Amino acid sequence: VPDSTNGRLDSWKEIAEYLGRDVRTLLRWEKEKGLPVHTVPGGKRRTVYAFKHEIDAWLAKEQPAEENQQSAIDQPLPTQMFWRRVPAAIWAALGLVLLGFAAFGAYRWREISSPTLTSILQEGNRLVAISPNSSVAWTYEFPGGPANVLKSLVVPNPHKNGAAGVLVTVGLGERSGDALYFFSPRGQPVWQFQSNDTVSFSSGDHKLSWGFNLIGTLQQKDETKILLTTRGYTWWPSQVLVLNMRGEVESRFINSGWIDTISIIESPRGRMLAAGGVNNSHNGGAVALLDASGFSGSSPEEPGSAFECKSCPPGRPLKYFVIPRSELNVISGSSLYPAGGEPAGSTVLVSKHELPGSIGQPPPASIIEFSLDFQLHRASYDDHYWEWHRKLEIEGKLAHSREKCPERDGPPFIREWTPEHGWREIRAPRR
């Protein structure tokens, strides 16, 4: 896990990914072995978070690695993805006043002896920066009452030890759209970024207020950049943005459908970003491959389709894949789930849930395997999928067995878009 991640894990899912175990195992460890998990006070549902340094210390003491071989089966995918879906706003009411930030605009990208920070916490309307010895490095009070902090990230300084700064996304709601704040390593607010605009599609103009989802860092040569994904509060579009450390947008990609995951792939053709989500016009899970050194444009759509962007900057992704809905997804009337891709050794695994899961019952999924330069190797459904297939067959909701299933060899095709060929259906080689 790279240093650029926050020291905090914000959900059972993130803790599970960090430990490489399923949530059911974590619940047991919490009860029986004192896994250090904290509960956010208030709220109807239990919302948890954990600190990596506490988990690491606990791991060193408990060494649970030997037990529970079962969990490998519960985790159909490896867990290299270093950051993922941000949990929905977990903090209470907001009321942030966006004043006073312009005054700090002339920030210089130079700090003498930057302090090292391990994590950023929220206490009411205060941000609290924690240093490695668990003491408070600084605090910042949001003016105007409790802020709805979505995510925070300590950006490491690439040139020397210590922090380059702190990124904080704040949920401001549909009316104003969310905001990204940048703080100096010593806690001074430096700039603030919002990205609301009107985007034209074939179906008409949409005034978009963006909700901020994922936040991370991206190394371009020796410069640290900010990777941000946003999605429309009301409408389907979403964005992948790269900002420089002055808060200026350098790359922008608009997808017709929400983007949910992003990961960095070191492909033979260079470093790529794999943005996973859905594609509305093709009604499937989608993965857009973007050049990590710079990109622009929008998702490829059928000309004249309602989702075709008319006002987006020019440009297309390097490649674009759509994984269609499976038979189980269609017959159960389930919603469309986003696809997500992550590197796994010499391959890239793209997965898409086909039915909802629950704690102790992982969702059935499509698993698509690509080479690192995104040639399709294999398309299959996981074991949970076939368990569900059997269950529906017994219940009489499916009239055929797995052996007779038209999709017994996995998803019959994947839609691929390339600049050379446009859209076409591709099939995994027969095995």
392 touches Zn ion (CB under 5 A): no
For Zn ion, the closer CB: 150 or 355: 355
405 touches Zn ion (CB under 5 A): yes
User: Shortest gap between Cβ of 399 and Zn ion (angstroms)?
Assistant: 9
For Zn ion, the closer CB: 285 or 364: 364
Question: Which among 101-109, 245-253, 315-323, 325-333 is the span making contact with Zn ion, rule CB under 5 A?
Answer: 325-333
User: Shortest gap between Cβ of 339 and Zn ion (angstroms)?
Assistant: 20
For Zn ion, the closer CB: 206 or 408: 408
92 touches Zn ion (CB under 5 A): no
User: Shortest gap between Cβ of 326 and Zn ion (angstroms)?
Assistant: 9
User: Shortest gap between Cβ of 380 and Zn ion (angstroms)?
Assistant: 14
3-state SS string over the chain? CCCCCCCEECCHHHHHHHHCCCHHHHHHHHHHHCCCCEECCCCCCCCEEEEHHHHHHHHHHHCHHHCCCCHHHHCCCCCCCCCCCCCCCCCCCCCCCCCCCHHHCCCCCCCCCCCCCCEEEEECCEEEEECCCCCEEEEEECCCCCCCEEEEEEEECCCCCCEEEEEEEECCHHHHCCEEEEECCCCCEEEEECCCEEEEECCEEEEECEEEEEEEEEEECCEEEEEEEEEECCCCEEEEEEECCCCCEEEEEEEECCEEEEEEEEECCEEEEEEEEEECCCCEEEEEEEECCCCEEECCCCCCCCCCECCCCCCCCCEEEEEECCHHHHHCCCCCCCEEEEEECCEEEEEEECCCCECCECCCEEEEEEECCCCEEEEEECHHHHHHHHHHHHCCCCCCCCCCCCCCCCCCCEEEEECCCEEEEECCCCC
Count of residues near Zn ion by CB under 5 A:
2
For Zn ion, the closer CB: 17 or 327: 327
- 271-310 mask for Zn ion (x: CB under 5 A)? ----------------------------------------
Question: Which among 39-47, 205-213, 214-222, 402-410 is the span making contact with Zn ion, rule CB under 5 A?
Answer: 402-410
For Zn ion, the closer CB: 216 or 324: 324
Question: Which among 148-156, 211-219, 289-297, 326-334 is the span making contact with Zn ion, rule CB under 5 A?
Answer: 326-334
Question: Which among 30-38, 93-101, 235-243, 320-328 is the span making contact with Zn ion, rule CB under 5 A?
Answer: 320-328
Q: d(Cα 334, Cα 328) in Å, to the nearest integer?
A: 8
For Zn ion, the closer CB: 64 or 410: 410
- 102-141 mask for Zn ion (x: CB under 5 A)? ----------------------------------------
Question: Which among 255-263, 295-303, 367-375, 405-413 is the span making contact with Zn ion, rule CB under 5 A?
Answer: 405-413
Q: d(Cα 131, Cα 239) in Å, to the nearest integer?
A: 33
For Zn ion, the closer CB: 77 or 405: 405
Length of the chain: 431
User: Shortest gap between Cβ of 398 and Zn ion (angstroms)?
Assistant: 6
Q: Are 184 and 134 in contact (CB under 8 A)?
A: no
Question: Which among 37-45, 160-168, 206-214, 400-408 is the span making contact with Zn ion, rule CB under 5 A?
Answer: 400-408
Name the token pair of 153: 């990230």
User: Shortest gap between Cβ of 406 and Zn ion (angstroms)?
Assistant: 6
User: Shortest gap between Cβ of 409 and Zn ion (angstroms)?
Assistant: 11
For Zn ion, the closer CB: 369 or 409: 409
Residue number of the CB closest to Zn ion reads 405
For Zn ion, the closer CB: 128 or 405: 405
Torsion, Cα of 16, 18, 21, 26 (10° steps): -50
For Zn ion, the closer CB: 186 or 402: 402
- Residues lying near Zn ion in the complex (CB under 5 A) are found at 327, 405
